[in-house]
Protein backbone atom coordinates (compact mmCIF):
# COMPACT_ATOMS: atom_id res chain seq x y z
CA UNK A 1 0.00 0.00 0.00
CA UNK A 2 1.22 3.48 -0.84
CA UNK A 3 1.93 5.60 2.27
CA UNK A 4 -0.15 8.56 1.06
CA UNK A 5 -2.70 6.55 -0.91
CA UNK A 6 -5.62 7.72 1.22
CA UNK A 7 -4.79 11.36 0.56
CA UNK A 8 -4.45 10.74 -3.16
CA UNK A 9 -7.77 8.89 -3.23
CA UNK A 10 -9.48 11.76 -1.40
CA UNK A 11 -8.13 14.30 -3.89
CA UNK A 12 -9.03 12.10 -6.84
CA UNK A 13 -12.62 11.36 -5.82
CA UNK A 14 -13.56 14.62 -4.04
CA UNK A 15 -11.37 17.48 -5.24
CA UNK A 16 -13.87 20.12 -4.07
CA UNK A 17 -13.54 18.91 -0.48
CA UNK A 18 -9.77 19.13 -0.70
CA UNK A 19 -9.90 22.67 -2.09
CA UNK A 20 -12.46 23.69 0.53
CA UNK A 21 -10.29 22.34 3.33
CA UNK A 22 -7.24 24.10 1.95
CA UNK A 23 -9.12 27.42 1.67
CA UNK A 24 -10.49 27.05 5.22
CA UNK A 25 -7.02 26.38 6.63
CA UNK A 26 -5.51 29.34 4.78
CA UNK A 27 -8.31 31.63 5.97
CA UNK A 28 -7.85 30.47 9.56
CA UNK A 29 -4.11 31.08 9.36
CA UNK A 30 -4.73 34.56 7.94
CA UNK A 31 -7.19 35.44 10.73
CA UNK A 32 -4.81 34.22 13.46
CA UNK A 33 -1.96 36.21 11.91
CA UNK A 34 -4.08 39.36 11.69
CA UNK A 35 -5.12 39.03 15.33
CA UNK A 36 -1.50 38.58 16.35
CA UNK A 37 -0.44 41.66 14.41
CA UNK A 38 -3.21 43.75 15.99
CA UNK A 39 -2.28 42.48 19.45
CA UNK A 40 1.38 43.32 18.96
CA UNK A 41 0.48 46.77 17.65
CA UNK A 42 -1.65 47.45 20.72
CA UNK A 43 1.03 46.24 23.12
CA UNK A 44 3.86 48.21 21.52
CA UNK A 45 1.93 51.45 20.98
CA UNK A 46 3.41 53.89 23.46
CA UNK A 47 1.59 57.10 22.68
CA UNK A 48 2.24 59.75 25.33
CA UNK A 49 -0.74 61.85 26.48
CA UNK A 50 0.47 65.07 24.83
CA UNK A 51 -2.90 65.89 23.34
CA UNK A 52 -4.43 66.86 26.68
CA UNK A 53 -1.36 68.62 28.09
CA UNK A 54 -2.61 72.14 27.34
CA UNK A 55 -6.36 71.54 27.80
CA UNK A 56 -7.89 73.78 30.50
CA UNK A 57 -10.51 71.20 31.57
CA UNK A 58 -10.71 67.44 31.07
CA UNK A 59 -14.04 65.68 31.72
CA UNK A 60 -13.88 62.01 32.57
CA UNK A 61 -15.85 59.35 34.38
CA UNK A 62 -14.94 58.43 37.93
CA UNK A 63 -12.60 55.47 38.12
CA UNK A 64 -13.50 52.64 40.44
pLDDT tens digit sequence for 12-62: 888 898 899 999 999 999 999 999 999 998 888 776 767 777 778 877 777
Q: How far apart are CA 38 and CA 51, in angstroms?
A: 23
| Residue 9: inside a domain | yes
pLDDT of residue 53: 72
pLDDT of residue 26: 98
Distances (CA, A) of 38 to 10, 19, 28: 37, 29, 15
- Which of the four pLDDT bands, split at 50, 70 and 90, describes residue 1? low
pLDDT of residue 9: 84
Distances (CA, A) of 64 to 21, 52, 60, 61: 48, 22, 12, 9
Q: Which residues contact 52 (CB under 8 A, 6 or more apart)?
A: 58
Distance of CA 57 to the CA centre of its chain: 39
pLDDT of residue 29: 98
| Residue 11: inside a domain | yes
For 23, the domain range is 5-44
Tell me how many domains the chain contains.
1
Amino acid sequence: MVPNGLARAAVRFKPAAFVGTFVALMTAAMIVSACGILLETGVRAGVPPQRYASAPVIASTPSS
